Each structure stands twice: as structure tokens, then as C-alpha cells.
Amino acid sequence: MNADLAELADALSLDALTARLAEIDAASEQQGFWDDHEAASKLLKEKKSIETRVQGYARLRGEAEDLGALIELAEEEGDGSLDEEADEAYAKLAKGLAQMKIDILLDGEHDASNAIVTVHAGAGGVDAQDWAEMLVRMYTRWAEGKGYKVKILDTRAGEEAGISSATFEVTGENAYGYLKTEKGVHRLVRMSPFNAQGKRQTSFASVDVMPEIDDEINIEIRDEDIRVDTFRSSGAGGQHVNKTDSAIRITHLPTNIVVTCQNERSQHQNKEVAMRVLKSKLLELAEQEHKDSLAELAGDYSQIAWGHQIRSYFVHPEQRVKDMRTGAETGNVQAVFDGDIDLFINEKLKLRD
């Protein structure tokens, strides 16, 4: 484990991070630090990110020292009474090291940001709408397991079941860095619960992920470039639902991008959130124009149907989930539906493409 820790310290550039942390601390103590509020906020955001990594490494080193002491004690006892505890400590440390190696890969410009996720039902009728709702549940469970907060911004119910689309925000360190790997078309193969003959059905849904931009990034949107429509909120969400035209739809005329929000308690709040989502979409579009390959930001879901999927989920006739990009595969389909998707996320991050 000491060799692994040394390798991790090199990968982190731990000495450089520590030195940079000292620089930021010194700068923050200078008179007039807050005169430029934007620059000060950016610096403190960088400090928080560095502290997360430095403290994470320190925690792992402490666990390694505790494990070493436990192993020595177990050898002295010699009766095997501490073997199980030592094995558990070793497994915990190994898992922590592996996760931190993945975290190091999250070095993109927006990787540390919150994520805005949109799920759309594709080909497959009612089954696809049910599948879209299952995906929202899967990502919600995954996010909650990470200690992230999830907030539904907009949901459109399906005709008979499920949803036709949903947009939600995932708040937490590196939320976008992880979830960006989920962009694309997801395919489900199962015995349809909506088919009287119980025939096998293939359904598709797309997942789009954008970083939530902060106030430091200036995205100018002119009033004449947008059309704002109000409509009555639908579905569950509070006493205001179905009683006032509080839902907001904003259309950005130059790009024809449309965003909606209906889950806040007032028209003003819905508009504020919708504008934030629109700015994130415009930032994404602007960055696409400077990419050699659009696939990195846009994902491969130009057609939400057969042949375009990034991952297939088989419930019938076999039980397995396979990622078409990395080859990662598991037979525990229910665990995946319950949010256990780190295998697929981590394997995609390792590709670094």
C-alpha cells in the first residue's frame, strides 16, 4: 500500500498542490482581497478543490498507518481474532485508493461543476417513456449514494405511463465530471409490462448532461433573442400546481434551443432556473464549436433509436448490462437500476477520450 500511496502522491502532484494552497492562503490574508469579488471567489473555489484532494490523500495515508498497526497487532495476537477486521480495513483502503485515482481524472474545465441532466424518451412508445422514468430513478439513486442533492426542474408525463422527458439538477463536487460519461442513448430490452401478449420490447431513451455554469462565466443573452411563454404547471409538485400559469418556457430564437421549468413555486423562480439552464446549454454549444469532435460534449444521440446506443440493459432473455464504448459489463441488472453505475462511469473516465 505504501507504493500505491507514493504513486498517488505523484499523480496528485501533492507537493505542488500544497505549495499552491499556501499561496492562496497568503493571498486571502492580504488587505483588499475582496475588492475584486469575482477573482476572490474564483480563488476560494480553487482552494476548496485543492483541499478536497489534499485532505483525501491525508485520510488515506492515515487509514494505511492504522492498517499497518492493526496487522502488527494481529501478528502479535496470532489467534486470527483480528483477521476479519484487518481484511475489512484493507478492502476499504483499496477502494479509497482506486476511487481517488479516478477522481484525479476529473481535471476538465467544468468537471467540478454541478450537473444538469435531461432524459428524453425515444423509440419504443409507452415502454420508452417508462424506461425514461427508470433512468431518472437510476441517476437519482446514484446521486444520493454519492451524497449529492437532486432537484427536479421540469417533468413531462408520458401518455399512459412514465415520462416523455425530465430535467433535473445534481449538486455536488464533480457531479458533472462523473455524469458527463452518461451522455448518449440507453437501450432497454425486456418483456413489456404494457403488452398484453407479453412480447419482448426494445426501448430507447437519451441522456444529455451539461455543467451548471456559475456567475463567473458571462453568457450574454439579449432580450430580443428570447421568447418567454408561460403555461400551467402539470403533475405533482405543490399547491401551486394546476392553479396558476407559473411554468416557464424560454425559446432562444437564434439557436432554437427550448428550456422549460415548472417545479419552482413562482413564475419568477421558474424563469430564473430556466435562464440558468439556457445559459448552460449555450455554453455547451459555444464549446462544441471549438471542438474537433462534437461527440465529447454533445453525446451520440442524434437519433434516439437502434444502432446509436452507448449502453444496453438486458432484462430478457438474459440479465446483464453492457457498455458499448468500454466493454464494461455486469450481470446484476437490478443493482444498476438502483444506481450502482460506478463501474461504467469509471471505465469511461479511464479512456480519457
Only one residue has cell 435531461, namely 118
Among the candidates 63, 82, 104, a domain finishes at: 104
Residue 68 C-alpha cell reads as 499497518
User: What tens digit of pLDDT does each residue of 13-50 get?
Assistant: 999 999 999 999 999 999 999 999 888 988 998 898 89
**Would strands 115-121 and 163-171 be described as parallel, antiparallel, or unpaired?**
antiparallel
Do residues 88 and 115 both lie within one domain? no
* Domain end position, chosen among 53, 71, 104: 104
Which span out of 105-109, 162-166, 295-299 was modeled with the highest average pLDDT?
162-166
334: closest CA among 315, 353, 349, 350? 315
Q: What is the mean pLDDT of residues 219-231?
A: 85
Q: How confident is the model at residue 281 (pLDDT cuts 50, 70, 90)?
A: confident
CA–CA gap between residue 253 and residue 255 (Å, rounded): 6
Domain match, 36 and 120 both: no
Q: What contacts 59, CB < 8 A, 6 or more positions away?
A: 96
Q: Are residues 53 and 134 in the same domain?
A: no
Q: Is residue 208 located within the same domain as residue 289?
A: yes
Phi-psi region of 184 (alpha: psi -120 to 50; beta: other; left: phi over 0): left
Sheet with strand 115-121: strands edge to edge: 149-157, 163-171, 115-121, 200-211, 184-191, 309-314, 320-323, 329-330
N-terminal to C-terminal alpha carbon distance within the chain: 29
Whole-angstrom CA distances from 242 to 204, 239, 247 are 30, 8, 10
What b/e readout covers 243-254, taking b as 16+ CB neighbours within 10 angstroms?
eeebbbbbbbee
pLDDT (tens digit, 9 = 90+) per residue, 343-352? 999 999 998 7
Are 97 and 154 part of one and the same domain? no
Cis peptide upstream of residue 254 (ω within 30 degrees of 0): no
The H or E element containing residue 166 is strand 163-171
Question: How far is 324 from 187, CA to CA, in rounded Å?
Answer: 11
Per the DSSP assignment, residues forming a β-bridge with 260 are: 249
Based on the fold, state whether residues 181 and 261 are members of the same structural domain. Answer: yes
Phi first, then psi, for residue 228 (nearest 5°) are -110, 120
Where residue 13 sits, what CATH number does that domain have? 1.20.58.410
pTM of the full structure: 0.78
Strand 309-314, strand 184-191: pairing: parallel
- Give the CATH number of the domain where residue 247 resides: 3.30.70.1660
Nearest residue to 11 via CA among 3, 19, 20: 3
Looking at the fold, whether 158 and 206 belong to one and the same domain comes out as yes
pLDDT in tens, 286-343: 766 655 433 444 444 445 555 678 999 999 888 999 999 999 999 999 999 999 999 9
Instruction: Give the confidence band of 190 by pLDDT, cuts at 50, 70, 90.
Output: very high
Q: Are residues 96 and 131 in the same domain?
A: no
C-alpha cell at 82: 483480528
C-alpha cell at 205: 431513451
pLDDT band at 214 (very low <50, low <70, confident <90, very high): low
Are the C-beta atoms of residues 309 and 301 closer than 8 Å to each other?
no
Residue 77: pLDDT over 90:
no
Residues 300 and 275 in one domain: yes
Mean pLDDT of 72-98: 89
Please indicate, yes or no, whether residues 143 and 77 belong to a single structural domain of this protein: no
Q: Say if residue 119 is in the same domain as residue 95.
A: no
Domain with 129 in it? 110-353
Which amino acid type is present at position 107?
Answer: D
- Domain final residue pick, 40, 69, 104: 104
Same domain, residue pair 66 and 124: no
The total of structural domains in the chain comes to 2
- The number of beta carbons lying within 10 Å of the beta carbon of residue 69 is 11
Could you tell me where the DSSP H helices lie in the chain? 2-12, 14-28, 37-77, 83-104, 125-145, 175-179, 267-288, 295-298, 333-337, 342-351
CA angle 186, 187, 193 (to 5 degrees): 125
d(Cα 138, Cα 131) in Å, to the nearest integer?
10
Q: Which of 53-67, 192-206, 236-250 has the highest mean pLDDT?
A: 53-67
